[in-house]
Amino acid sequence: MPLVGTSENSEVINMDSVGYLKDLAIILLAAKVFGICARKLHAPEVVGEILAGLIIGPAVLGIVSQSDFISQMAEIGVVMLMFEAGLGTDMKKLKETGLQATAVACAGVFVPIILGTVLFMSFYGWGTPGSEQFLKGLFIGTIMAATSVSITVAALKELGRLSGTVGTTIVSAAIIDDVIGIVVLTFVLSAKGTDTSVWIIVFKAIAFFAIAIVSGFLVNKIFVWLDSRYEHTRRIPIAALVYCLAMAYVAEKFFGIADITGAYVAGVVLCNLNDAKYVERRVDISAYMVFAPIFFAGIGLKVSFASMDARLMLFSVAFVIIACVGKIIGCGGIARICRFNFSDSLKIGVGMMTRGEVALITAQKGLSAGLIAPEFFTPVILLILVSSILVPILLKQMFGHSGEAAA
């Protein structure tokens, strides 16, 4: 039996099997060109990469469309970004901001949930608590509550502010926000009649962090020994990346926690190594060249305006505005109560505005449970796109007029 390209069918299969290489080349080229243009216009590079995805994707030119391969590459990108964020964490500042970050996260979940519920019912009809209409509104609020800090991490890193007090508070709050969001999501799905128990999710979240802390001490000691024996060798970053991917997998697969949380925890476990900066630089090479640009461009690729009507368009605009304002009011307001100055409180509120894969995953869960219709993915994607472009620009402007020392 012939192996390669001797029939019309095998030729088609062979052509399709390498199509991802063309898509990858286009994405990386467009992301780099638009990233350079963004930098020349004094905007963060990630803004250009997101716009590149929007322009080459279905919304404009239609040269590249979303695929499982691109989604998986993008997921690796966000995992590596969060691992780098963990590696760059200042443990002293993390301990100092723990209670403040928890308060910021709680406000960042519940304020958008309330606003989102009211917004949905204002457009599509009111319902009493417990009714299906009310649950649909509550679910829209739950989507609004989901924070994805990956864009903020990239912007803060580019600005040299990631390990400062504000940066640490944002990243810590986003991780806690993720856990609270999972509990709320499970509660809403349970109320709809799915078989997931809220208490099981709470138990899994607590169990994950308990196991991560205990195992983290052991893993840290192993890496300290490796670091002293094989300092500045490639086996250290390879072993660190293996640990990162393993933690991301375990978090998602066995505990129902987002994989990016597992990756961030892995980075925190290793952040005090003598070779932490060396590991971060090595990981950054792969992330910067391939995976991160695919992640950011992938956000733009998801945008499509095919199912947009007048009411959905108006709802989408209101959804984006209220989702962004809700985070600023909730997170920024609590940060101010926690004695951050007004400028830093505003930075924290803006830094918590970004939405990403967590919002999309939440929306997908709602679609499966019959809580939202497919057309509601459009406002979610628009929120991701607008917040992902807006937040880096706003942070650059605010930090540009700030006296906080760069990390």
What Rg, from alpha-carbon coordinates, does the chain have? 21
Give the rounded distance of the alpha carbon of 163 from its chain centre.
18
284 belongs to a structural domain: yes
Residue 360 or 19, more confident: 19
CATH code, domain carrying 316: 1.20.1530.20
Mean pLDDT, range 79-94, rounded to an integer: 78
Identity of residue 127: G
Report the b/e string of 355-379 with b at 16+ CB within 10 A: bbbbbbbbbebbeebebbeeebbbb
**Residues recorded for the chain:** 407
What value does the mean pLDDT of the chain take?
A: 82
CA angle 198, 199, 201 (to 5 degrees): 65
pLDDT band at 15 (very low <50, low <70, confident <90, very high): very low
332 belongs to a structural domain: yes
290 belongs to a structural domain: yes
pLDDT band at 13 (very low <50, low <70, confident <90, very high): very low
- Please, where are the H alpha helices in 164-309? 165-192, 198-229, 235-255, 259-270, 276-286, 292-301
**Dist. CA 70–CA 90, nearest whole Å:** 33
Q: Which of 71-75, 101-105, 239-243 has the highest mean pLDDT?
A: 239-243
Axis crossing angle, helix 45-56 with helix 150-159, rounded to the nearest 10 = 140
Quote the longest CA-to-CA distance of the chain.
Answer: 74
37 belongs to a structural domain: no
Taking 70 as the threshold, does the pLDDT of residue 1 lie above it? no
32 belongs to a structural domain: no
302 belongs to a structural domain: yes
Cβ count within 10 A of residue 173: 28
What is the tens place of the pLDDT at every residue in 125-173?
888 877 888 888 888 998 888 787 777 777 788 788 777 788 888 888 8
**Dist. CA 328–CA 339, nearest whole Å:** 16
Taking 50 as the threshold, does the pLDDT of residue 10 lie above it? no
Give the list of residues 6+ apart from residue 46 with CB closer than 8 angstroms, or none. Answer: 35, 38, 151, 154, 155, 158, 296, 388, 392
Q: Containing domain of residue 267, as a range?
A: 75-400
63 belongs to a structural domain: no
45 belongs to a structural domain: no
What is the tens place of the pLDDT at every residue in 38-48?
888 876 677 78
- Whether pTM > 0.95 for this model: the answer is no
Question: Domain total for the chain?
Answer: 1
Q: Which of 27-41, 134-148, 181-195 has the highest mean pLDDT?
A: 27-41
Question: Terminal CA-to-CA distance of the chain, rounded, Å?
Answer: 62
Taking 60 as the threshold, does the pLDDT of residue 404 lie above it? no
Residue 131 or 223, more confident: 223
Burial of 189 (0-12, 13-18, 19+ CB in 10 A): buried
pLDDT band at 196 (very low <50, low <70, confident <90, very high): low
**Residue 274 confidence (pLDDT):** 85
